[in-house]
Structure 1
Amino acid sequence: MTSSTDITEGLTIAYQPMVDLQTGRPWAYEALLRPESASPSAWLAKARREGAGPVAEALAITLALRGGRPPGGALLAVNVSASALASDAVQRMLPRDLSGLILEITENELVLHGSSIQTHLDDLRGRGALIAVDDAGAGYASLRQVMLLRPDIIKLDRELVSGVHLDPAKVALIEALSRFAVRTGAMLCAEGIEHEDELATLADLDVPIGQGFYLARPHARWPTVAPMAALACREGLASALRHGDRPLGDHVQILQEALAARLSNCTSLADLNATLPQLQLLLQADGLSISRLEDPGGDPYLQTCAGSVWEDEPCYRVADYPTTGALLRTGDAAQVLRGDTGADEHELQLLHTNGLAALMMIPLRACGQAVGLLEVFSSEDRPWTRQQLTLARTVAHHLATLLRHLPAHAQARAVGHSGHPRLTTLRALPAIAANDTTGKA
């Protein structure tokens, strides 16, 4: 068998910062193998072929620990495979007190059964170590590793990070992993950040830690974070803190915050109409209608105040639409699908006439009373998701308060003999386009 001296000959360690993406300061340093004549993976593969895998990994950890504690109270991360972690060689090399140490489980081999290694992980955590899993998001196997090992730190695969600012699918997967991390008490670390746009997007997705050449390259002695990258981190946080200065993107939380800010500053119905493009984007809708409930004590009717060209949008009696009336009384939401033969025939006729396929209705309530209705339209015959329903309810809360304070539309409606505005029995499709902000105050 190859001796330990042969194994470590020409082997050095380089350190790369894992950076706090809010402050731009090193949160930890990862110790990286730097063999003289082979890549790290080739060096480890050779050691394993010669039956010295655990010994090689144990000696690499020893070299990393000889560098001492990182500056500024940062943590130190060392790499180790799952099988080597349980070996006597690695266990003997690890100090009793593991405070400040991150043990990063590499993807060199898959953990097929979590019970045995979990015993070792519990012991290591009890001694102060944090457990990280590498390359999360690289495939089902890596996600299974995350579920089995329940790490304290989930490191996102560099392929998932690369170009994330240009790929909504990557954003969606990182959002899902972020929710998983929050629910399991873990934190995310994005590997392979090479551009400022990637950094900005990841920070907006609440990925707390990042690593990559844009932030800092590996070095034999504790490298500092690149000044421009540290500045980008700090400016990103400052921008998020400034009122009204958040960039408007397609990330749900950013869009929701920006929309709430715009609604809180509406002073007219024209202002309300101007928020419709962002509202449609948030709810993934093809059309919207926001109506105010009038004359609730007599024969109530709904009058649209946003979501259409005003002159063409009719009022309509609540009594003519039983489903709408029930929602206003109970506060429940409802959806109507073109393919649902059991739905309210009046609502189905509305969809058919206007070439629509789905409608979601959210009552607007303030101080326990119905004040209006939010209607969300889709040209696809598909049910609304629970997330879209939750978002619509959140928006409805803002709209309900807003409608109570906005002035009524200045243009008077024609009034019939009954004293009510001219009422129609069929509503028209809101004519405003997603990028049209026309509206009359």
Structure 2
Amino acid sequence: MTVPAALETERGSALEALVDAASGILAADSLDGTLGRIAHHLRALLRYDDLTVYEIDEAAALLRPVFAVGNWVDEVLSDPIPLGTGVTGWAVSHRRTRNVPNSVEEPLCNVVGGTPDDAEAFVCVPLLARERVVGALNVYRGIDSAAFSTEEVELVERFATMAALAYDSARQRETLREQVQRDGLTGLLNHRACHERLNAALADGDGAVAVVLIDLDHFKVINDTLGHAEGDRVLVASAERLCSAVRVGDVVGRMGGEEFVLILPGADAEAAEDCAERARAALGELTVHGRPVAASAGVAAAPTDGREAAVLLENADAALYWAKRSGRGRTVRYVRGAIRPESEQRNEIAALLERGTAAIEIVFQPLVELATGRAGGYEALARIDVEPRRGPDEWFAQAHRVGLGNDLEALALRAALEVPGRPDGAFLALNVSPRALLSKPVQDALPAQLTGIVVELTEHEVFGDEDELDAALADLRARGAQIALDDAGAGYAGLQQMIQIAPDILKLDRTLVHGAHADSSRQALLEALIGFASSTGAAICAEGVEDLDDLRALVALDVTYAQGYVLCRPAPEWPQPDAAATATSASQIRAGLRVALNPRGGSGAFARGLAELSDELAAAETVWDLGAANSRAAHLLGADELSIMLVHGDHLEQISDECDEAGERWPIADFPASRYVLDAGIPGQIVAGDAAGDQSELEELARMGFATALLVPVTYGRTPRALLEVYRIRPQAFTSREVDRARVLAQQFGAALDRFT
């Protein structure tokens, strides 16, 4: 059947208009901007009078109008639709478009309160993003302008497919912006936001501001004996009680762990002490297994105790430290010279340093690779078994207060690096604060060759000199190290820090992870962070995983690594993950391969790169020209190299414009895993250190100098034409999202190969 030239031209123009619309909508930098551009670009494609975008509110079982243009905007935006009702509810629940030629004749139609019941034509299209319905797009016009034609409905459906992805991405970015100022567990202002609020309070008026630092006593005992779930309950309840103890206009924040801050504008030290006592009394109304929650507090007030936020907080922290050293359960006001002498604190740290690495015990916690269930790496954790007994964070904080923090961090690094026996293929993650990373003691402690080492940045404050830090990170990467950023999603690791550092591993804070399986808000934020990491090529690691349901949710979300008590507690001598927990691995063993049977999809910058790759493949004039696209394809998958192996009967032949082995052939029978991928038509991968891997493939992988290989069949017309081989130098399994992207690339190469074979 021949398509008329005029119709073909019309379709081509519509497609070009859709592409232009997609580019315009994706260029928006806010949720409101995205919605506005959706309305603008659809009007360029289609004549309509009114438009409404609805968003699903599952908690309230409603479809909430979030954007409208045309007549009766205020009435539309104030009239949500109960899920499952009306034409819009039907379209969402059935995941199908509904074309209504005349609203008066449609029994399912609702009338928006306060608007006339005039006849109109409208189309309702469910907005589907990543296989889930996120809302609906409705377009209307007067009945005298004629109903929407079949071609117009198809155009709206195509537009809605692109608009849904743009809207979902914009909504996730908006969630990130909101979360960056808030602690994920308690909802209080986070550490960074508290610094900003205190600076603003000091700059306002006469600068009279008091701060109270409050620390829950013996909180570690609650976590260790009752579990982190109970600890989280106590933290949330404590936040609520603290908010009840302050005035309107005061600020309550969470500085990290079990430490809270009260910022009291206009208060002097005496008023702050009174507030601290009220706060401690309010906390005492909480009980854990029948025992009241106790707390210690430190007070400092400006301008007497400091005129800058950092100084004021440091002095309040010194007072808090003295309160805890004096027996806990009390409030101490900072008085210059009355707090524990700095010389005493310094001597205590100096004594540790004199003992050398014997003063520090190193325990390890595995980072479990969810695609394989193996220990992909280990985080080294320092323990200091010295009286008075304190957590490592307290020791390091004290060391930095007295000017010996860089030396103590360097000592911990040397202690971790001295431990022998690290399993083959597993990396070692070393915790370092950015301020210590730039110091000579820490730089001297790190070996020249850092292959297999991950430097994990742990500081919970705004990083210092950006240029100096950038240069230090570039030097570490040039020596073979990877960079991890801790506490993502807790507000400590802000978006600007993520962008500046461009981490190789992004570690999700445990407050985001705990309970994620039953919390749609946390899942949405996790998806946004995972999408961000995917677009930058970073791996994701979830910390503090203590529940198998949460672990399964992380597998479904395509997280790369996880660590926590449900997988393995920290221990010396390189402990192995719990076999029962790792059985939730995202893949199964088939013919010595890790096979992901239910891969998830991805989107974003990949789509643009895919379009560029398609153009390059379309320009190829011979089969050997396809090899020139290998580098671009490898980059899209976050891989180090990619090869195309043509199927010639019972042999494979490599095509490449760079490889020395181009044109050589290998018998397929020598590589059972490759044979399985071609016969079964599904991708699989092999990772160095994975005991389940096919031995012949592992040996070939090692010979080539790689540690991970993903094999993807390239088929066209159900006939295997080639094998797409994707390699990484590091032993990190490809996630399901990356596997799915590789399958898309394989389709592109398959179509190109069909022209030459």
* TM tier, smaller: 0.5 to 0.7
Question: For residues 8 and 216 of structure 1, what CA distance do their matches in structure 2 show?
Answer: 25
Correspondent of 1:11 among 341, 360, 364: 360
Residues 27 and 183 (structure 1 numbering): CA distance in 2 closer, same or farther, change over 3 Å? same
**Does residue 371 of structure 2 align to residue 22 of structure 1?**
yes
Deviates more, 1:170-179 or 1:230-239: 230-239
Q: How many angstroms does 1:72 deviate by?
A: 2.9
Kindly provide the amino acid, as one letter, of the partner of residue 446 in structure 2.
Answer: L
Q: How many angstroms does 1:34 deviate by?
A: 0.9
Question: For residues 103 and 24 of structure 1, what CA distance do their matches in structure 2 show?
Answer: 23
Q: How many angstroms does 1:134 deviate by?
A: 0.2
Correspondent of 1:62 among 371, 396, 414: 414
Question: For residues 510 and 396 of structure 2, what CA distance do their matches in structure 1 show?
Answer: 21
SS state at 1:71 partner: coil
Residues 8 and 50 (structure 1 numbering): CA distance in 2 closer, same or farther, change over 3 Å? farther
CA deviations on 1:229-258 (whole Å, 9 max, x unpaired) are 111225689999457xx9xxxx998xxxxx
Give matches, 1:41-190, under 5 Å.
Answer: 41-68=393-420, 70-139=422-491, 141-190=493-542
Give matches, 1:173-212, under 5 Å.
Answer: 173-212=525-564
Q: How many angstroms does 1:9 deviate by?
A: 5.8
Question: For residues 411 and 513 of structure 2, what CA distance do their matches in structure 1 show?
Answer: 31
Q: 8 Å contact 2:460–2:492 — kept in the other structure?
A: no
Question: For residues 154 and 202 of structure 1, what CA distance do their matches in structure 2 show?
Answer: 14
Q: 8 Å contact 2:587–2:596 — kept in the other structure?
A: no
Kindly provide the amino acid, as one letter, of the partner of residue 225 in structure 1.
Answer: P
Question: For residues 586 and 432 of structure 2, what CA distance do their matches in structure 1 show?
Answer: 33
Question: For residues 231 and 141 of structure 1, what CA distance do their matches in structure 2 show?
Answer: 31
* TM-score, L = length of structure 2: 0.31
Question: For residues 92 and 111 of structure 1, what CA distance do their matches in structure 2 show?
Answer: 21
Q: 8 Å contact 1:153–1:187 — kept in the other structure?
A: yes
Kindly provide the amino acid, as one letter, of the partner of residue 55 in structure 1.
Answer: D
Residues 178 and 38 (structure 1 numbering): CA distance in 2 closer, same or farther, change over 3 Å? same
Correspondent of 2:572 among 209, 215, 220: 220
CA deviations on 1:133-161 (whole Å, 9 max, x unpaired) are 00000016533321221111100000000
SS state at 1:72 partner: coil
Q: 8 Å contact 1:151–1:186 — kept in the other structure?
A: yes
Question: For residues 546 and 440 of structure 2, what CA distance do their matches in structure 1 show?
Answer: 38
Identity %: 44
Q: 8 Å contact 1:69–1:76 — kept in the other structure?
A: no
Q: How many angstroms does 1:50 deviate by?
A: 2.1
- What residue in structure 1 maps to residue 165 of structure 2? none
Residues 95 and 27 (structure 1 numbering): CA distance in 2 closer, same or farther, change over 3 Å? same
SS state at 1:232 partner: coil
Question: For residues 126 and 98 of structure 1, what CA distance do their matches in structure 2 show?
Answer: 9
Question: For residues 589 and 511 of structure 2, what CA distance do their matches in structure 1 show?
Answer: 25
Question: For residues 242 and 128 of structure 1, what CA distance do their matches in structure 2 show?
Answer: 33
Q: How many angstroms does 1:170 deviate by?
A: 1.0
Kindly provide the amino acid, as one letter, of the partner of residue 85 in structure 1.
Answer: L
Ranked by relative contact order (alpha carbons within 8 Å, sequence separation 6 or more), the top structure is 1
Question: For residues 563 and 587 of structure 2, what CA distance do their matches in structure 1 show?
Answer: 18
Q: How many angstroms does 1:176 deviate by?
A: 1.0
Question: For residues 69 and 151 of structure 1, what CA distance do their matches in structure 2 show?
Answer: 27
CA deviations on 1:387-420 (whole Å, 9 max, x unpaired) are xxxxxxxxxxxxxxxxxxxxxxxxxxxxxxxxxx
SS state at 2:449 partner: coil
Question: For residues 75 and 115 of structure 1, what CA distance do their matches in structure 2 show?
Answer: 27
Correspondent of 1:31 among 377, 380, 405: 380
CA deviations on 1:344-381 (whole Å, 9 max, x unpaired) are xxxxxxxxxxxxxxxxxxxxxxxxxxxxxxxxxxxxxx
SS state at 1:46 partner: helix
Give matches, 1:304-315, under 5 Å.
Answer: none
Kindly provide the amino acid, as one letter, of the partner of residue 578 in structure 2.
Answer: A
Q: How many angstroms does 1:191 deviate by?
A: 0.3
Give matches, 1:285-434, under 5 Å.
Answer: none
Question: For residues 502 and 575 of structure 2, what CA distance do their matches in structure 1 show?
Answer: 30
SS state at 1:14 partner: strand
Q: 8 Å contact 2:434–2:469 — kept in the other structure?
A: yes
CA deviations on 1:314-357 (whole Å, 9 max, x unpaired) are xxxxxxxxxxxxxxxxxxxxxxxxxxxxxxxxxxxxxxxxxxxx
Q: How many angstroms does 1:38 deviate by?
A: 1.5
Give matches, 1:211-250, under 5 Å.
Answer: 211-233=563-585, 241-242=596-597
Question: For residues 240 and 97 of structure 1, what CA distance do their matches in structure 2 show?
Answer: 34
Q: How many angstroms does 1:43 deviate by?
A: 1.0
Question: For residues 357 and 587 of structure 2, what CA distance do their matches in structure 1 show?
Answer: 43
SS state at 1:27 partner: strand
Question: For residues 191 and 42 of structure 1, what CA distance do their matches in structure 2 show?
Answer: 21
Give unpaired runs (5+ residues) of structure 2: 1-345, 603-757
SS state at 1:115 partner: helix
Residues 13 and 140 (structure 1 numbering): CA distance in 2 closer, same or farther, change over 3 Å? closer
Question: For residues 95 and 119 of structure 1, what CA distance do their matches in structure 2 show?
Answer: 17
Q: How many angstroms does 1:112 deviate by?
A: 4.5
Q: 8 Å contact 2:357–2:415 — kept in the other structure?
A: no
Question: For residues 140 and 97 of structure 1, what CA distance do their matches in structure 2 show?
Answer: 30
Question: For residues 68 and 140 of structure 1, what CA distance do their matches in structure 2 show?
Answer: 33
Q: 8 Å contact 2:487–2:493 — kept in the other structure?
A: no
* TM-score, L = length of structure 1: 0.53
Q: 8 Å contact 1:107–1:142 — kept in the other structure?
A: no
Residues 119 and 183 (structure 1 numbering): CA distance in 2 closer, same or farther, change over 3 Å? same
Question: For residues 41 and 93 of structure 1, what CA distance do their matches in structure 2 show?
Answer: 20
Residues 83 and 166 (structure 1 numbering): CA distance in 2 closer, same or farther, change over 3 Å? same
